[in-house]
Amino acid sequence: MQSFRKSIFLILMITGIPLRSSAESRKPLIFENRAACALDSKLPADSALLIVDSYNAGKLVDSWLKGLEPNISANMNTEKGLRYFRLAVTEMFMTLASEILNGRLPLISSDDEIIKRCQGQTPCPEMEMKLDQVFQAWTQISAVPNVPLQGASVSCLYLRKFSEFQAPWNRDRPDQSVLQKLAQDTLNSKDLVSECFDESESLSSRRFALQFDLNGQDPRWWSQHGFDFWFSLKLYFSYSWRNPTYILGETHPLLGLFRSLAVEQMMSLVSNTCKSIEKPVCTESQTALEVYRLIARAGAPADLDHPFSRGADQALLAQAVPVYHEDVAVLPEGQEAGVWLKSYQDQILKNRGFLKQKLLSAVSLFELMKSALPVEDLQKGLLTLRSQIQDHPLLYKKMQVLCSEDSLAFHPLFGVMEKKLEGVVSDKSFEMLFDSISNQQLRDLVSYGVNVGKMIEPLCEQIKVEQLWAKGKEPEAADLSAWYRDLMGNGDSGSNDFFGLGNLFNQDAMGLPAVLSQERSTDSGTEKSTVCSDVSDCGRLILKTLVDLNSISTWTSALTPMKEWIQSPSLANPWATEQACKLYDPWYATHRAFVAMVGDLFTTTVTGIAPIPAYLAIDLKPSTVTGFQPEPLAGDVLLHPNLQRGGVSYSLGIDLGPWTGIPCAAIVSPNAIGANTNGFYTLGGVRAEACMAQNSHRLTVTGASDSNANPNAQRSSCLMCYLNPYSTARSLSMLGTTPVPLLRLAAGVVFSGVSLIKKLSDPVDVPRRFTVDPAKVAATFQKYSFIPKHCVRRLIHGHSCRWAWLTADERKHEPVEE
Amino acid sequence: MRTLFVALLACASSQVFAFDVNPFLSALGQELRITCKATDSEACLALCGESSECRIEEPSCRSCAGTQNLWMKRVLDQVGLSLRARGAPISDAQFLELLKVGSWISLHEKSLYNYSSVFNGALIKEQFDRACAEVGGVDGILLIKTHPVTHVPEEIMGMICSEALTHDAHLYLFPESENRLSAIYKRRPLPASSDRR
């Protein structure tokens, strides 16, 4: 074990490459609110977690040991094999990352011409050839300059437990208790983390999480090249894993075994902050990756659980933009990392398994049916059944169910399947997956299914015309397929019902042998199993398989990717995809506050000069996404949001009270549904409080942070007059005294400023970041034995707290002697 | 590659040899061992230069070890069902040539790439026995052609079956034109790669 590591370490030490693997220093933690987190998703991450499930490596080593000849002593066991795997992964990542940062391995951009030509296909021979050249050059170390790029280095930690160091995943503003725990965690970090290359048996290698931190890089350089760094690291890792002698040397004992692993599917590299590993782009694969965060949030319902998939983009549209990190909280602090990893990875496994089963079943069925049951044969069979439905009550019911389902799927006016299936056949990543398991064309199989569906529809219409159905007698819900019930909102359509074809499926209605059977392997031989009992069952099975194909194609790019590529779902940032798809605008609240201020200042000017209190209230309405326009792009599908522009709404109001003595105000709102008083009454300075009370039951003012509101596009104008007794009182007083424009002007300006500050202090939608240096927090804790309240503000802005004003309660604490 | 393969087969003599083929797991991974009878040592000599036994180390199989490889799962599920040895085997000389020049991996009851069922379990044993039942053989071994450079499995070549009494091994090819199921399991070829290394 040591030998292959020693070799690479020796090289690294001689050449002075900064390779760090220690818990000695901690980067400052950045806590961000929704808006800041969304904004940061466009920047490259400088800290990442590698989450690994080593099951496949364990099974490989275990099988190998069981099958190994007795006379070969492998000096190995499965646990040891897993440890070798963990250390090999660590070794590869650390070496490659360091070599990229030192300029010995070149940065490769995702915009590279060869990458584009490969169109997401892996392995891509042209790319492999380029990587061969890169690594051959790399072996001649002296030929490549050793110039560290911007002084950057990488460090690595093995996470034993999740702690407050992962707190930014869950919180936007750290409070006293968070700082307190962070200080304790900093001082007891040995319980939480280990050295990455720790070979101790007590560390789990079955499931593990490594944290990679980039240190010392020039921020400007990093913002330009950070994404290329992660891209190159993944690309080089995939290559090196299959050509392991470059990194692990010739002597690694499990070299021959490990290189056959589908290693990318055993791990994901996720950002440890709001920043990203891959630049978020609104694509189908990006929206599908959201499923991982939903999985991480145990029990969250996902489109994946529905028998009829609406699509990842629709799932994204349907879900509300989460307000806080807690809405998607994923990392439980204080828990053994392995416990969370187990539940997360088990969920992924379960969903993947379900999807794989569905896919394999769909492919086998279509292949079988297309060759055994041509559309014409099915048609003939159905015509025969039609003539017998009056004589066989069960057949009647079965045909009725078939017709109901086919009508929902392929009715010329309201059928839901045809358009969905067009999307399925144009999905390149799904086609790649399909091609990998069948040499039949996806398009041909789907077209076979569509032809069957379209053939059934007129036949059912004819039955209706002939009035063969009893009037008012609908099929029982339990007899219908799960996808039908799901689509009709008829509950109880969960994914547990794998076949989901209802009670009547494959019930023998005519006492005839099954139309289609197939052989299956069992421990004792083979057995015949019925595929479909009569042609109505076959028809329903084909419809269900089409529905499954649609559902599978939605999620395969995320859950069963064909690409040999380590995935990077944005687990710590629930707003990355929302921002990329324009479902969330992190600048909206800020812009809205400034636009409102313009209105306030205008009103201030008018009321300051004239004795008539008039106001202009301007409000910025958020744009909303009504759907997505797909555009195929390099093996993926780009989603262009259909934006309904928000625009600006404004209300012009005049309070007639001071002028006419009539307790009335006129408000004109040409493009808003209700009159907007945004700041009018409060702008009234001394009159504010009284008028606010009147205001409360008259008008609804949308809060600045309420960007989830989906304003109706309908526009109207209104002219309002309402009783305002305070206005009358004010008018009398105003008419009887000399107005003081300058004072009013000053008060108005002050109020505009106060109003702006209030709006900009929105805790959620105005970007806000807090930087906490664990070392400074720990120092404060050591000084006082707790974190004083007075220190919180300073610490969350990255400052030290050398002196604190202690509250009476706090003074009771015994300070720790230094 | 295919042209070369066909040419080799055409050139191969129709000489009859007797040899066993057995799968093993070595320190480096999977290997096939060809054991030649004393009277047929020239078969082994031709194959590897040794007179009694040849060990052929298999290359890696790209991304084959994993629960996510659906192609491998599908192939394993079909062993003994649609994937059965049928008809006549190819000549022993052709068989040896194919082992010598081809880029391939083997699937069998002790295969490292079986993530579908228990390693060396009853189900997989029964499947590989059944795969040879029609030709009166036992201990089936499925040969899969892999890409010589990328090591991606590309096509099922055939089933090796051993005679129950003598253990003499024969290879039953799955020609595309004659076996519908080999066609099903043939993957589309990768884009041609230029000469490397």
Chain A residue with CA closest to B25: the answer is A68
Q: How many CB atoms lie within 10 A of CB A28?
A: 13
Instruction: Please compute the mean of the pLDDT values over residues A26-52 and round it to a whole number.
Output: 93
Measured between beta carbons, the chain A residues lying within 8 angstroms of B29 are: 64, 256-257, 260
Residue of B nearest to A121 (CA): B190
Q: Which chain B residues are Cβ-neighbours of A363 within 8 angstroms?
A: 74
Q: How far is B126 from chain A (nearest CA, A)?
A: 7
At A216-234, the pLDDT tens digits run 888 899 999 999 999 999 9
Question: What is the Cα A560 distance to its own chain's centre?
Answer: 16
Mean pLDDT check: name the lowest of A2-11, A550-559, B184-193.
B184-193
State the residue for tokens 């930690």: A157
Q: Is the pLDDT of residue A356 over 90?
A: no
Q: Do B26 and A69 make contact, defined as CB atoms within 8 angstroms?
A: yes
Q: Report whether pLDDT(A174) > 70.
A: yes
Instruction: Report, as an integer, the average pLDDT of B142-149.
Output: 90
Residues sharing a CB contact under 8 Å with residue B171, sequence separation 6 or more, in sequence order = B89, B90, B94, B95, B98, B143, B157, B158, B159, B160
CB atoms within 10 A of CB A9: 17
Q: What average pLDDT does the segment A109-129 reach?
A: 84
The answer to whether A137 faces chain B, any CB pair under 8 Å, is: no
Structure confidence at residue B196 (pLDDT): 31
Q: At residue A192, does pLDDT exceed 80?
A: yes
Q: What mean pLDDT do residues A772-796 have?
A: 91
Question: Given this model, what pLDDT does residue A757 score?
Answer: 92
Question: What is the nearest CA distance from A346 to chain B, expressed in angstroms?
Answer: 13
Nearest beta carbon to residue B152 from set A59, A123, A255: A123
Beta-carbon separation of B62 and A128 below 8 A: no
Please judge whether A262 and B65 are an interchain contact, meaning their C-beta atoms are less than 8 angstroms apart: yes
pLDDT at A736: 43
In 3D, which of A780, A776, A369 has the Cα closest to residue A541? A369
Whether A125 sits inside 8 A of B152 (CB atoms) is no
What DSSP state is assigned to residue A310? -
- Token output for A229: 């760094």
Strand partners for A719:
A668
> What is the Cα–Cα distance from A532 to A530, expressed in whole angstroms?
6
> Which among B63, B67, B71 is the nearest to A437, CB-wise?
B71
Looking at the DSSP assignment, which residues form a beta bridge with residue A44? A276
Nearest to A29, CA basis, from A761, A795, A790: A795
Query: Which residues from A are below 8 Å from B109, CB to CB?
Result: none
Asked whether the predicted pLDDT for residue B109 surpasses 90, the reply is yes
Whole-angstrom distance, CA of residue A425 vs CA of residue A550: 9
Task: Tell me, yes or no, if A559 comes closer than 8 A to chain B by beta carbon.
Answer: no
| Single-letter code of the amino acid located at A290 | E
Contact B123 A69 (CB under 8 A): no
End-to-end CA distance of chain A: 43
Q: How far does B161 lie from chain A, in Å, by closest CA?
A: 18
- Locate the domains of chain A by residue range: 1-19+52-154+217-265, 375-554, 588-760
pLDDT attached to residue A40: 95
Helix (H, G, I), strand (E, B) or coil at A87: helix
pLDDT band at A671 (very low <50, low <70, confident <90, very high): low
Instruction: Measure CA of the first residue to CA of the last residue in chain B; give whole Å.
Output: 17
Q: A246 — contact with chain B (CB < 8 Å)?
A: no
Partners of A620 in beta bridges: A648
What's the CA gap between A735 and B158, in Å, rounded? 104
Asked if the model's pLDDT at residue B190 lies above 70, the reply is: no
> Is the CB of residue A520 less than 8 Å away from at least one CB of chain B?
yes
pLDDT at A679: 41
Closest-CA residue to A260 (of A63, A65, A57): A57
Per-residue pLDDT averaged across A572-584, rounded?
A: 90
Q: What is the mean pLDDT of residues A74-85?
A: 89
Hey, which residues does A632 pair with through a beta bridge? A637
Confidence at residue A103, expressed as pLDDT on a 0 to 100 scale: 86
> Min CA distance, A492 vs chain B (Å)?
30
Q: Is A268 on the interface with B (CB under 8 A)?
A: no
Chain B contact set for A523 (CB, 8 A): 122-123, 126
> Which residues 66-85 in chain B show a CB within 8 A of chain A?
66-71, 73-74, 77, 79-81
- Count of all residues that appear for chain A in the document: 818
> How many other β-carbons are positioned within 10 Å of the β-carbon of residue A383?
12
Q: Using the predicted structure, report yes or no on whether residue A583 has a pLDDT greater than 70.
A: yes
A352/B112 touch (CB, cutoff 8 Å), yes or no = no
Q: Say whether B126 and A521 touch across the interface (CB within 8 A).
A: yes
- Vertex B115 angle, CA B113 and B118, to 5°: 110
Report the run of H or E that residue B55 belongs to, with start and end. strand B53-57
pLDDT of A383 higher than 60 = yes
What are B21's two structure tokens?
Answer: 């083929």
Is the pLDDT assigned to residue A56 strictly greater than 70? yes
Mean pLDDT of all residues belonging to chain A: 80
Whether residue A242 and residue B122 make contact (CB cut-off 8 A), yes or no, is no
CB atoms within 10 A of CB A66: 12
Looking at residue B177, its pLDDT comes to: 39
Question: Which residues on B lie below 8 Å from A521 (Cβ)?
Answer: 77, 79-81, 123, 126-127, 130
Bond before A586 cis per omega within 30 degrees: no
Min Cα distance B183 → chain A (Å) is: 7
Give the single-character DSSP code of A582.
T
Residue A813 or residue A574, greater confidence:
A574
**Which pLDDT value is given to residue A741?**
66
Quote the DSSP letter at residue A305. G
Q: For residue A588, what are its two tokens?
A: 């909206």
Contact criterion met (CB < 8 Å) for A242 and B191: no
Interface size, chain A vs chain B, as Cβ–Cβ contacts under 8 Å: 154
SS3 content of chain B, % helix, strand, coil (to 5): 30, 25, 45
Q: A97 near A226, Cβ under 8 Å?
A: no
A706-751 pLDDT, tens per residue? 333 333 333 444 444 444 444 444 444 444 444 556 777 787 788 8
Strands A719-720 and A665-668: antiparallel
Which positions in chain A touch B70 (Cβ < 8 Å)? 356, 359-360, 433, 436-437, 560
- Flag whether residue A818 sits within 8 Å of chain B, measured between CB atoms: no
Kindly state whether A809 is in contact with chain B, defined as any CB-CB distance less than 8 angstroms: no
Give the closest residue to A553 by CA, choosing from A284, A315, A282: A284
Closest CB to B196: pick one of A132, A352, A437.
A132
Residues from chain A that touch B60, judged by Cβ atoms under 8 A, are 242, 256, 259-260
Q: Which pLDDT score, from 0 to 100, does residue A173 have?
A: 87
By C-alpha distance, the chain A residue nearest B125 is A523
Contacts of A441 in chain B (CB under 8 A): none
Work out the average pLDDT over A108-132: 85
Question: A290 CA to chain B: closest CA distance, Å?
Answer: 20
**What element of type H or E holds A354?**
helix A337-372
Average of per-residue pLDDT values in chain B = 80
pLDDT at A497: 55
Asked if pLDDT for residue B178 goes beyond 50, the answer is no
DSSP conformational letter for B80: T
Residue A780 exposed, middle or buried by CB count within 10 Å (0-12, 13-18, 19+): buried
Average pLDDT on A500-510 reads 87
Cα A508 to chain centroid, rounded: 46
pLDDT value for A334: 67
Q: Is B86 on the interface with A (CB under 8 A)?
A: no
Q: Does A560 touch chain B (CB under 8 A)?
A: yes
Residues with Cβ within 8 Å of residue A609, at least 6 apart in sequence: A741, A745
Segment A389-423, tens digit of pLDDT: 888 889 999 999 999 999 999 998 888 899 889 98
Contact B107, B153 (CB under 8 A): no
User: What's the rounded Cα separation, in Å, for the pair A479 and A395?
Assistant: 12
Report pLDDT for A14: 38
Which runs of E-coded beta strand occur in A16-60? 19-20, 29-32, 47-53
ipTM of the complex: 0.86
Overall average pLDDT of the A309-319 stretch: 77
The pLDDT value given to residue B8: 43
Among candidates B108, B122, B182, which has minimal Cα distance to A525?
A: B122
What pLDDT score does A92 carry? Answer: 95
| Nearest alpha carbon to residue A429 among A235, A267, A283 | A283
8 Å CB contact of A67 and B71: no
pLDDT for residue A477: 85
Neighbours of B44 (CB within 10 A): 21
Q: Which residue has the tokens 């993530």?
A: B115
Contacts of A764 (CB under 8 A, 6+ apart): A33, A34, A35, A172, A323, A324, A589, A705
C-beta atoms of A521 and B127 within 8 A? yes
DSSP A470-531: PTT-PPPGGGS-HHHHHHTT-S---TTSSS---TTTT--SSS---SEEEEEEETTEEEEEEE
Mean pLDDT lowest among A364-378, A635-649, A797-811, B173-187 = B173-187
pLDDT of the residue at B17: 76
Whole-number pLDDT of residue A205: 94
Q: What is the 3-state secondary structure (H, E, C) of A598-659?
A: HHHHHHHHHHHHCCCCEEEEEEECCCEEEEEEEEEECCEEEEEEEEECCCEEEEEEEECHHH
Kindly report, residue by residue over B36-78, the tens digit of the pLDDT: 988 888 889 988 889 899 999 999 999 999 987 888 888 898 8
- pLDDT of the residue at A511: 80
Using alpha carbons only, what angle is made at residue A267 by residues B147 and A89, rounded to the nearest 5 degrees? 80
Note which residues in 64-123 of chain A have CB less than 8 A from chain B.
64, 66-69, 72, 74, 123
The number of beta carbons lying within 10 Å of the beta carbon of residue A379 is 17
Q: Which two tokens stand for residue B188?
A: 């589309």
Q: For chain B, which residues make up each domain, given as ranges?
A: 2-14+62-184
Q: Which residues of B touch A64 (CB under 8 A)?
A: 25, 29, 112
How close, in Å, is residue B23 to chain A by CA atoms?
10
Read off the pLDDT band of A260 (50, 70, 90).
Answer: very high
pLDDT, tens digit, for every residue of B88-100? 999 988 998 899 8
Which has the minimum average pLDDT: A41-55, A438-452, A641-655?
A: A641-655
